[in-house]
Amino acid sequence: MTSVFDLAPGDRAVPVVPVVVIEDAADAVPLARALVAGGLPLIEVTLRTPAALDAVRAIADGVPEAVVGAGTVVSAAGVAEAVAAGARFLVSPGWTEGLLGAMRDAGVPFLPGVSTASEVVALLERGVEDMKFFPAEAAGGVPYLKSLAGPLPRARFCPTGGISPASAPAYLALPNVGCVGGTWMLPPDALAARDWARVESLARGAAELSSP
């Protein structure tokens, strides 16, 4: 199965996956277009609002150049609903055997969430090497992930949670980090004002991030 880290169109790896909370599904298409125009085609729509599944569906149907996924997936039912809506990847904040099985069976790439070495080892035992590290900053940040690279070199992470444009390059410099998840290109005041030009500008800055 293709890795989430390899889903971006073209040859250029995308350093940042925007983590989007959409309150109004009518905003989904213009928001996704702004992110894509800024160079961030992988878009994680979190299943935290009543509008989330409609937003995933709208982006999947209306913005073909985007690769839309569903985040905050916490149940088998959520997996099924997200994939039916058009999600091309899945992200969870944590995992259980049941949730992991449902994500495996869904037929799309997925990132189960981890925050401890034991959780990483448990996933590696099950043949899963791509993971979300969450909540990244609260769970130990760059030093913690750096300490995992030696004993657990097969694990590759998308750290998410508390990451900023200032801290992202240090994460991206780690050999076991494929990308980071972030929200800084989606400031609440810009979303409230539907200032898609500002979102595009912030997305462009995020897309240009690299390791120091």
- What distance in Å separates the CA atoms of residue 115 and residue 158, rounded to the nearest whole number? 12
8 A C-beta contact, residue 5 and residue 158: yes
**Torsional class of 104: left (φ above 0), alpha (ψ -120 to 50), beta (otherwise):** alpha
146 included as an active-site residue? no
Catalytic hit among 44, 125, 129, 200: 44
| Tokens matching residue 33 | 């277009």
Catalytic hit among 23, 65, 125, 132: 132
- What distance in Å separates the CA atoms of residue 185 and residue 204, rounded to the nearest whole number? 9
Q: Which residues of 153-181 are buried (b: 16+ CB within 10 A; e: fewer)?
A: eebbbbbbbebeeebbebbbebebbbbbb
The catalytic site residues sit at: 44, 132
